[in-house]
Amino acid sequence: MPQRPYVIDQMISAKAIAARIEELAREIEAEFEGTDKLVVIGLLRGSFVFIADLVREMQLPVEVDFIEASSYGDGTVSSKEVRILKDLRGEIQGRDVLVVEDIVDTGFTLHHVIHMLSARKPARLKTIALLDKPLRREVNFKADWIGFEIPDEFVVGYGIDFAQRNRDLPFIGKVRFTD
């Protein structure tokens, strides 16, 4: 599929992201203080940069696991039907769990994943999303921690893609079509 031409305008700098992650890590440490059974679960693929920076900032013993839910395909419109493409490798029953997502948009993805994981009876189940687009919400869902609230713009960078491109940008930028 040929791509429409676009440019990327920086919205959140790498420095601002790093500063926010320091704050979030302190709050997460306080919540999970003393735990020796924390598993941090990244939603593939968009959270891979965020989870890497977050777990390195957190002063807690952690295990890391990943889960993959179906996403947008190659478009910019969300789908309501969430499918699990890759499940966790480990068990979470009785564990402290932190689910790490890149963006909460309509809310369908995290809502579904949390519902599924809570059925496995973790001791605690918390969620963090780097970005939140509250204006787009279609299901009642709120992450326990949010990095930044953003307007209804399609964004890329810091792990987040547009048709699999731009995940490697160190900052968050918004896509602006030029045609």
What is the binding site for ligand IMP (CB under 6 A)?
Answer: 46, 71-72, 78, 101-109, 154-155, 160
C-alpha distances in Å from residue 6, one per residue of 39, 78, 84, 135, 155: 38, 20, 31, 23, 12
Would you list the DSSP string of 19-81? HHHHHHHHHHHHHTTT-S-EEEEEEETTTHHHHHHHHHH--S-EEEEEEEE---TTSSS--S-
Task: Indicate which residue of 102, 105, 132, 161 is catalytic.
Answer: 105
Residue 8 vs 24, nearer CB to ligand IMP: 8
Residue in this structure with the two tokens 């918390």, named with its chain if needed: 126
- Least Å distance between CB 99 and ligand IMP? 11
The binder of 158, among Mg ion, ligand IMP, none, by C-beta within 5 to 8 A per type, is none
Member of 42, 46, 122, 159 binding Mg ion (CB under 5 A):
46
Closest-CA residue to 147 (of 9, 25, 10): 25
- Least Å distance between CB 123 and Mg ion? 26
Residue 120 vs 136, nearer CB to ligand IMP: 136
Question: Number of helices and strands (H, E) in the chain?
Answer: 3, 9
- Least Å distance between CB 107 and ligand IMP? 5
- Least Å distance between CB 103 and Mg ion? 7
Distance CA 130, CA 21 (A): 9
Known catalytic membership, residue 105 = yes
The binder of 107, among Mg ion, ligand IMP, none, by C-beta within 5 to 8 A per type, is ligand IMP
Residues near Mg ion (CB under 5 A) are 46, 71
- For the annotated catalytic residues, the residue numbers are 105
